[in-house]
Amino acid sequence: MSGRPEGSLKGKVAFVAGASRGIGRNIALALAGAGASVAVAARSEQEGRLPGTIHAVADRITRSGGSALAVPCDVSAEESVEAAVAATVAEFGGIDILIANAGVLGLGPIESTPLKRWQLCLDVNLTGVFLVTRAVIPHLRARGGGSLVAVTTSGVTMTDRGANAYWVSKAAVERLYLGLAADLRPDNIAVNCLAPSRVVLTEGWLAGGGGREIPPEMTEPPEAMAEAAVLLAGQDATGITGTVQRSESLR
């Protein structure tokens, strides 16, 4: 798979949660490059500890001739999610695609993980996916179908390497989406999870990866996830659905 051709998502509207930097930013840019109008959603309205804002990503899309809307959104807060989805629908007329990418890392051993970090991982990585997914489903249904994609991690299957809050929260997301695929098949909505095949050295990983050195052969560029996400974004229930995909397996 080399990505869907330019214009293949023309007329579609995508809501990308966690789109101010890293994997989410690259997916937002790729969706716009394929012709979709993109709601660039995240909390980052101003530069903070990590680089990247929703406005910078939206501006990059519009400068390239695409259509984008910067949407402030805290995925762990119900009212914020509902307001962000409503703003997207008001601007673009509906939603066809969700990329649920917002996440925080919690990679330390369970016995040394503070409750606050554990709860944050669950609030953002799991409850956040639940909230944005629940909010957009009626809009996809109204359009006659669409695609839901949750970004997870290959760490879910690495049980021989122990446990941490991040992997646990992402494992729950995979169960949520695998079950949701069956629920939404009658509505012609594809539901899939997408994980990197290898480590993507995003700004968040570099800041929260615990100083781990990752050999080059164990990393992949963010563009691999972007290409795979564009392919999944073009699905409905007649195509790929109810799966957990790895980025490089779709290329």
The residues annotated with a catalytic role in the active site are 166
DSSP line for 11-45: T-EEEEES-SSHHHHHHHHHHHHTT-EEEEEES-S
Given a contact cutoff of 8 angstroms between Cβ atoms, the answer to whether 155 and 170 are in contact is yes
By CB neighbour count within 10 A (0-12 exposed, 13-18 middle, 19+ buried), where does 56 fall? middle
**Of the candidates 23, 26, 15, which has an alpha carbon nearest to the alpha carbon of residue 88?**
15
How far apart are alpha carbons 157 and 41 in whole angstroms?
29
Phi, psi (rounded to 5 degrees) for 141: -60, -40
Contacts of 185 (CB under 8 A, 6+ apart): 237, 241, 242
∠ CA 120-125-127, rounded to 5°: 85
